[in-house]
Amino acid sequence: VGVELCRHPALFMPPPTSGSHPLSLQSIRETLIRQEDTIIFALIERAQYRANDVCYQPGARAFAAIAGPSESFLESMLLETERMHARVRRYTSPDEHAFFPRALPPPSLPLLDFPALLHPCSVNLNPQILEVYLHKVLPAVTQPGDDTQHGSSVVADVAVLQAISKRVHYGLFVAESKFRAKPEEYTALIRGNDEEGIMRLLTNTAVEERVLRRVRRKAFTFGQDIEADESVLGLSEAESRCGAAEVPAAAPLKLDPEAIVRLYHDFIIPLTKEAEVAYLLQRLGNTRVAFHGPVENGPCHRLAVRHFEPPPATASSGSKLIECESALGVYEAVLSNRAFLGIVLLEQADLGVLPAAKQLFAQYPLQIVAELSDAAADRAAGRTRCVVVCKRNALPPPTGRDKTMLLLGLLDAPGNLAAALTSFTTHGVNVSYIQSSAAPPGSGAQVAFFIELAGHARDTALTSF
């Protein structure tokens, strides 16, 4: 299949619509409001425990059996939580970003086909979020001291961090919506690399003030012990719109509402806008591509540069190539959203299709969207081919010179392979390459064959099987 569509990822995104579209203003507003609830409740939950500073000290002896020598109890808990969540495909969702993306296993569940609403980007502000949480948020919402509730504290910490991360990175969707509303204005600022201009254009002070007022009311409401025979706030409608400074002194509050308002004003809103600016600066560039190293003289690197590296005139907004130590690393980069596309070595010299490539094809549900050949490597070491993998269902349209790859599993019995090949002939499909392979574990097959067919995967001859 051709490569051109992969080089222009904006073509993967649907046109803007109105109503219930995820990028509509109403949909975005509803999502942000729900995220406010999650963050406020999570902060109130954490506030019931003391600061418990030992939980955040790298290599603390109290947690030597759990955390590594250079990590804190919180980091260990957060990493293990993300590992479990990664296995159930949390970080394949475009609105989720891991704190430890390079340390996560691939999903154990089949991938979902999310709509490609966003331009591929490398925005991840979780390192900043973690620093802000440790040094600004925790001191503001907890009392000093140690109550020995260390496990409960870090469990609550993880909930807060994940909630704030999701809210901040939802700024990518906000930025995409704003870009689609004013494409000409944003395009001019992006091409001029004008960060300050982009920040001015996306800032809406009136909306930010409404968010702060709503957060204040929610924090005051959620922070009370509500009795069934009392009004929700114990205040008149007019009084319910007041700030925390006007709250009656007798009102029992689990957490000062103004602490949460300051958190939004000083950190969450600015970090969200930082994510928006970072996304928009990459909005016109090419996609990020992971490749199997080494950087120098490797066929995957040469092909990545040839097909995906932008020309010097557009390098400021272009892609960043991600070197991976193995083909598995390429798959992990794509699965964890660090890269939109991956390039892995398929065939080299007279070895045929590499066993590692076939194993990955069978184990992980990524799409093969293009084949790349390396003429320089062909001259030096025989036939060399790479394939481009992507977790989106992003097959380019038929070109008339397409091929389809499949891994066929069979029971090891006389005539089974012949019967399978006869079915291709019956449907008028030309088999251009076949190689025996080990059957994938747990597939129920006893033997497998890697097969290349002439034609596009959506051709009638192939879809009729």
What whole-number distance in Å separates Cα of residue 436 and Cα of residue 412?
Answer: 12
Buried b (16+ CB within 10 A) or exposed e, 8-23: ebeebbeeeeeeebbb
What whole-number distance in Å separates Cα of residue 422 and Cα of residue 381?
Answer: 35
Helix, strand, coil percentages in the chain from 3-state DSSP, rounded to 5: 50, 10, 40
Stated as kind and residue range, the H or E segment containing 298 is none
What whole-number distance in Å separates Cα of residue 311 and Cα of residue 276?
Answer: 25
Tokens 């494409």 map to which residue?
183
Which of 331, 337, 332 lies closest to 288 in space, CA to CA? 337
3-state secondary structure of 382: coil
Which residues does the annotation mark as catalytic?
29, 167, 178, 204, 208, 272, 276
Which of 201, 391, 162, 390 lies closest to 280 in space, CA to CA? 201
Residues with Cβ within 8 Å of 122's Cβ and at least 6 positions away in sequence, in order, are 282, 288, 320, 338
What whole-number distance in Å separates Cα of residue 334 and Cα of residue 221?
Answer: 42
- Strand order in 403-410's β-sheet? 403-410, 447-454, 431-437
Residues with Cβ within 8 Å of 379's Cβ and at least 6 positions away in sequence, in order, are none
Q: Which two tokens stand for residue 162?
A: 């994940």
CB distance 354 to 345 below 8 Å? yes
Stated as kind and residue range, the H or E segment containing 188 is helix 183-191
Q: Which two tokens stand for residue 390?
A: 């992507």
Buried b (16+ CB within 10 A) or exposed e, 138-176: bebbbeeeeeeebeebbbbbbbbbbbbbbbbbbbbbbbb
Residues with Cβ within 8 Å of 274's Cβ and at least 6 positions away in sequence, in order, are 125, 128, 171
- In this structure, the chain runs to a length of 465
